[in-house]
Amino acid sequence: MSKITEKVWSLAQPVADELGLEIWDVEFVKEAGTQYLRVFLDKEGGVGINDCETFSRTLDPILDEADPVPCSYVFEVGSAGIERELKRPGDFEKFMGEQVSVKLYQAVNGQKNYVGELSAYNNGDITLTVAGKTLELKKSQVAQVKLHVDF
């Protein structure tokens, strides 16, 4: 996590607590020449547009005063989503036994994408159960892990 995202997270946490929300992630990224500061939220039962608006309107003046971002940026607040990315150890613990989609940097057994049950997590290494078979993947092999929902 960058110093900017850490600072924003620390500023946003009391707002989230006050509103009964959980901060899922904070990201500061450059896309098409524009800097974006994004805060992703979660709560039991899901996050709605009103939650995002209230959070944004409450946090925005705090960010203006603290000025944690040294350049101009677009501020966005949204839901973590049902197919959210798992990044931190607590994310993996929370969703142990759930279906996840995993993207790999390089193919393993001829595939770069897997969908399976998250069956173990250890310091970034993950174990999936795919079609009844166990697949162990090292942290260095894994590009991204997201919750998977069949529609």
CATH of the domain at 105: 2.30.30.100
Q: Is the dihedral of CA 41, 47, 52, 58 positive or negative?
A: negative
Q: Can you tell me the mean pLDDT for 50-67?
A: 96
Regarding whether 61 and 21 lie in a shared domain, the answer is yes
Compute the residue count for the chain.
151
Could you tell me the pLDDT band of residue 150, with boundaries at 50, 70 and 90?
confident
Amino acid 2: pLDDT: 77
Tell me: do 94 and 72 sit in the same domain: no
Residue 84 lies in a domain: no
Q: What is the pLDDT of residue 84?
A: 94
- Domain carrying residue 101: 89-147
Residue 92 CA to residue 98 CA, distance in Å, equals 9
CA 41/CA 55 separation, integer angstroms: 9
**Is residue 75's pLDDT more than 80?**
yes
- Is pLDDT of 19 > 90? yes
Q: What is the pLDDT of residue 45?
A: 92
pLDDT > 70? residue 85: yes
- Hey, what are 95's tokens? 């969703």
Residue 28 gets which letter from DSSP?
Answer: E
Domain count, the chain: 2
Three-class DSSP category at 149: coil
Give the pair of three-digit tokens for residue 103.
């993207």
Query: What does each C-alpha distance from 148 to 19, 34, 96, 113 come to in angstroms?
Result: 28, 30, 12, 12
pLDDT band at 1 (very low <50, low <70, confident <90, very high): low
Taking residues 96-105, report their average pLDDT: 96
Q: How confident is the model at residue 134 (pLDDT cuts 50, 70, 90)?
A: very high
Beta bridge partner(s), residue 2: none
pLDDT of residue 73: 95
